[in-house]
Amino acid sequence: MIAEFHKRDRARWISHLDLQRAMQRALRRAKLPVGYSQGFNPHVNLSFASALSLGLESLCEILDVELSAPAEPEAFMAALNAVLPAGLKILRARLVEDAAPAPMALMRFAEYQAFVLQSGLTGAASTLMASETVLAQKQSKKGTRQVDIRPMLFALEALEEAAGTRLTMLLLCSNADNLRPEAVLSALGARDASKTTRTRLLKADGSDLFLF
C-alpha cells in the first residue's frame, strides 16, 4: 500500500526515527493486515520516500507499507487516521503490486514553500538562479562541507507579500543526494523563516510521485 500523508503543526517536531515508530504503533493499533520482518525482533515492513528535516511541515510525505492480506485503500485510510497522533493525517492511499518499484527509487525533485519575514529578496532570487556557481554549507552524514548547490537548484521564485516574502523552490531530492531548503535560504541571505513546507514530491518527468 502506498499512502500520502501530511506532517503539520506540532508533528513537524517529530524526528524521522520517531515518525517511523509512530507509524508502526498506529498500524498495529489500527489492526491493519501489515507484513512483518523476520527475526528475533520483528517490526512492520514500511519505508518513507524521503526523510524530512526536523521543524519542516509537509503536505506530501509518502509511506510504503507491506500488507499481509488485501485491504481497501479507503478502509486503510480511515483505520489509520483514527489512531494517528495530531498533525499526521493520511490524505490518499492506493494499492500497488509487490513488484512495483519503491517510491524512493523514482523520486527526483521536491518542491518547498518558505515564508520569510523579510522583503527585497526578489532580486537576490533572480541573481542566484543566474549564477553558474552557488557555494553553501551542506550537511551530510560525514559532517558539514562547502559545496556548489547550483546544480541541485532547479527553480526559485520569490513573491513579495505585505509581511514578507514567499519563496517557492524546486530542489534535487533523490535516493543518491538531496538539497535542503535551509541551504538555499542561507545562500539567499534570508533570515527569520517563519515556516517552510514541502509541497510536492516529483519523479524525473515532473509527475506526482504518489501516482507512479
CATH number of the CATH domain containing 10: 3.30.70.580
Question: Is the same domain home to 115 and 170?
Answer: yes
Range of the domain at 52: 2-100
Write down the pLDDT at residue 41: 78
Examine the domain organization and report whether 66 and 133 are in the same domain.
no
Looking at the fold, whether 188 and 93 belong to one and the same domain comes out as: no
Of 100, 130, 148, which residue sits at a domain end? 100
Same domain for 205 and 137: yes
Domain endpoint, select from 67, 100, 133:
100
Give one word for 177, left, alpha or beta, with left for phi > 0 and alpha for psi -120 to 50: beta
Region 84-103: mean pLDDT is 93
Q: Is the per-residue pLDDT at 32 higher than 80?
A: yes
Residue found by looking up cell 523520486 in the block: 107
Tell whether the torsion through CA atoms of 125, 129, 131 and 136 is positive or negative. positive
* Least trusted range by pLDDT, from 1-5, 82-86, 119-123: 119-123
What is the pLDDT averaged over residues 169-188? 93
**Count of domains in the chain?**
2
Asked if the model's pLDDT at residue 111 lies above 90, the reply is yes
In a shared domain, residues 95 and 19: yes
- Identify whether residues 109 and 207 lie together within a single domain: yes
At 38 the pLDDT is 79
Rounded Cα–Cα distance for residues 93 and 203 (Å): 18
The pTM for the full model equals 0.92
Q: What is the CATH number for 173?
A: 3.30.70
Return the sign of the alpha-carbon dihedral for residues 177, 179, 180, 183: positive
State mean pLDDT over 136-152: 84
